[in-house]
Amino acid sequence: MSEPRRSYVIALTGGIAAGKSAVSRRFEAIGIHVYDADVAAREVIAPGTDGLAAVLARFGHGVFDAGGQLDRAAMRQRVFGDDEARRALEAITHPRVRSWLHERALADRGPYCLLAIPLLAENIEHYRWVDRVLVVDAPEAVQLERLMQRDGIDEALARRMIERQARRTHRLALAHDVIENDGDEARLDHAVAQLHARYKALAAGR
């Protein structure tokens, strides 16, 4: 007996504060599974994993709390502004995150599934196996306003956070589909409904 065909796979991405989570929630509300790279990043270095053991071997006990758990605040402080440390952490986590996402995409039995990958544009060479890319886009001025309100930060820091990501034009160049999220979130309902119909048709026509 042949194995069931895997789901059609949509990679969902967008700049910080563009509205990826709002779009993800709407797909989930209509029964589509969304597998999130941020969730994967926590799971691959959870207690008892080889990922956590690799973090300990590379960074030592200084990034762990008294109970032996990873101190995420200490880790962020350790890698902030230290490119070598950041690259070392990414070398541990990124391949494991990609494997986590790939395994769930292969196991999914819906008509299609979404992979929420904030840094897709920065790592697109590792995701050539996805079928389609959906970008949630917003003007930088909108991103800035949302980011300052969401995180309670000033404009200078918000700009630095945006500048650390891939350029907006780079993300859009990868897109098969784009959701413009520059206003009322209620408009997302219509956009998601249209894409849902399109993706079901594409999945059925493979």
Query: Which range marks the domain in which residue 188 is found?
Result: 1-33+111-206
Residue 20 marked in a binding site: yes
- Confirm or deny that 2 is annotated as ligand binding: no
> Where residue 183 sits, what CATH number does that domain have?
3.40.50.300
Whether 120 contacts 18, CB under 8 Å:
no
Long-range contacts at 29-33 (CB < 8 A, ≥ 24 apart): 30/192, 30/193, 30/196, 31/110, 32/110, 32/112, 32/113, 32/114, 32/196, 33/7, 33/104, 33/108, 33/110, 33/113, 33/114
Q: Is 37 annotated as a binding residue?
A: no
Same domain? For 96 and 45 the reply is yes
Same domain, 115 and 27: yes
Residue 51 among known ligand-binding residues: no
21 marked as binding residue: yes
- Tell me whether residue 17 is annotated as binding: yes
The pLDDT tens digits of the residues spanning 4-39 come to 567 899 999 998 888 899 999 999 999 999 999 999
- Kindly state the DSSP code that residue 7 receives in the 8-state scheme: P
Same domain for 138 and 42? no
One domain for residues 101 and 27: no
Among 81, 107, 133, residue at a domain's last position: 107
In the 8-state DSSP scheme, what is residue 13?
Answer: E
Q: Which of 79, 107, 135 is the last residue of a domain?
A: 107
41-70 pLDDT, tens digit each: 999 999 999 999 999 999 999 899 888 888
pTM for this structure?
0.88
Total domains in the chain come to: 2
What pLDDT is stored for residue 147 in this prediction? 86
- For helices 72-79 and 50-59, what crossing angle results, to 10°? 50
